[in-house]
Amino acid sequence: MKNDRFDFEEEFHARDKKQFRKERKRLTEGDRSKFKKTDQTKKDTVIDDTLPRGQVVSITGEGIWVEHENNRVLCALRGGLKKEKLLVKNLVAVGDFVRLDLETSSIVQIEPRFSTLARTEIRGQREQLIAVNIDQVVIVAPLVEPPLKPALIDRYLIAAAKGNIRPIIVLNKTDLLDENPTETALYHEFLAAYEPLGFPILSVSTTTHAGIDALRSLLQGKTTVFAGQSGVGKSSLLNAAFGLSLKTGELAQKTYKGTHTTTTAELITLPGGGHVVDTPGTRSFTLWNLTREDVVAHFRDLGVWAKECRFPDCGHVAEPGCAVLKALKEGKLPLMRYESYCSLLEEAAGGADNRTRRKMSEE
């Protein structure tokens, strides 16, 4: 009996390992080609510092809008650069720092980028840049209406890490906590689970203005992108912090559908300095390639325990000798973190049913 079980485990893991290796090979190959596509055009470029400098604020049907010394100039790509365009979906992106020939209104050089926010094109394998040279991403998550979804926050945290963008978690609608004890409990559970991870977390409300001054100073002088599902309060927060008049609620969704100027992202200049990337809807941030490696790298708090699992390739689902499940049972690992890990892993694997796994972890 004992032997049978042992053989089964061996076989299970041998198969798993093979699958994992195959998957890893596929992923690293994919990653390499992606890297090449983004960077090959920039490698040998020597930037001419004597040329006027500007920043791409939006790309529309009319052309590329570049901000140069507080003016907006409608530009086109110079011929030489256009050839390179064949290699990438979008050679120039919102947020790019460019060198200009003002006489012909053309972009002659594109400076190397320090960060990118990308998604995979819906059809095909090319990478599509949403915006570049972003300092930070504000992940807006409401505490109530709709309730907090930690897995969604982790998803954005992974996206930020991949794009080399500093994440800030903003928990919104704190004004609604008083009347909602369940959500309040969830809020405290979230703080206990996520504060030790070291990410900046700010609790705010556009209704009471709590935390809005702190948010404003975090955004001042920086280029920030807001992430979060529709209706979480992104526009309301910007309006509250900077006196802007971005449309909110249902009205905002209607206008976005009808607009043709903001089919891609747009840089909004903030009063007092800094920019915010405005994007039509938020679907842009949910369409990117999540890999098993991304998930494992992000959940470092699980990794601490994983080192002690009996099998080095333990998936922490139902394997014998799993130290992660043991830590969970003993209350050393927050259930919220484990659940988020499971749901993201499921997504990375392409949506396998993990209800059974959850059940097991709760036993």
Nearer to Zn ion, 80 or 320 (CB): 320
Distances (CA, A) of 103 to 80, 91, 100, 328, 332: 17, 22, 9, 65, 65
Return the structure tokens found at 307.
Answer: 């080192």
Query: C-alpha 263: how far from its chain's center?
Result: 19
Chain positions contacting ligand GDP, by CB under 6 A: 172-173, 175-176, 205-207, 228, 230-236, 248-249, 252
Smallest separation (angstroms) from Zn ion to the CB of 209: 45
Contact of residue 231 among Zn ion, ligand GDP, none (CB under 5-8 Å per partner type): ligand GDP
Tokens for 139, please give them: 């992940």
Q: Which is nearer to ligand GDP, 14 or 287 (CB)?
A: 287
Using only C-alpha atoms, the chain has a radius of gyration, in whole angstroms, of 23
**Partner residues linked to 119 by β-bridges:** 128
Q: At closest approach, how far in Å is the CB of 161 from ligand GDP?
A: 22
Which of Zn ion, ligand GDP, none binds 324 (CB below 5-8 Å, type-dependent)?
A: Zn ion
Please identify, among the stretches 134-142, 158-166, 201-209, 313-321, the one whose residues bind Zn ion according to the rule CB under 5 A.
313-321
Q: At 135, give phi and psi (nearest 5°).
A: -80, -45
CA distances from 278 to 139, 226, 246, 302 (A): 14, 8, 10, 34
User: CB under 5 A: which stretch of 10-18, 25-33, 111-119, 324-332 binds Zn ion?
Assistant: 324-332
Which of ligand GDP, Zn ion, none does 230 bind, CB closer than 5 to 8 A by kind?
Answer: ligand GDP
Q: Which does 207 bind (CB under 5 to 8 A by kind): ligand GDP, Zn ion, none?
A: ligand GDP
The residue range among 5-13, 149-157, 236-244, 318-326 that interacts with Zn ion, by the rule CB under 5 A, is 318-326
Helix 335-348 and helix 150-162, axial crossing angle in degrees, nearest 10: 60
Containing 62, the helix (H) or strand (E) segment is none
Tell me how far, at minimum, the Cβ of 205 lies from ligand GDP, in Å: 4
275 makes contact, choosing from ligand GDP, Zn ion, none, with CB < 5 to 8 Å by partner type, with none
Q: How far is the CB of 322 from Zn ion (least distance, A)?
A: 3
Q: Which of 324, 328, 342, 345 binds Zn ion (CB under 5 A)?
A: 324
Furthest-apart CA pair in the chain: how many Å? Answer: 84
DSSP 64-84: EEEEETTEEEEEEE-HHHHHH
Whole-angstrom distance, CA of residue 142 vs CA of residue 190? 12
Does residue number 322 form part of the binding site for Zn ion (CB under 5 A)?
yes
Cis peptide before 200 (omega within 30 of 0): no
Among residues 137 and 342, whose Cβ is nearest to ligand GDP? 137
Residues contributing to the site for Zn ion (CB under 5 A): 309, 314, 316, 322, 324
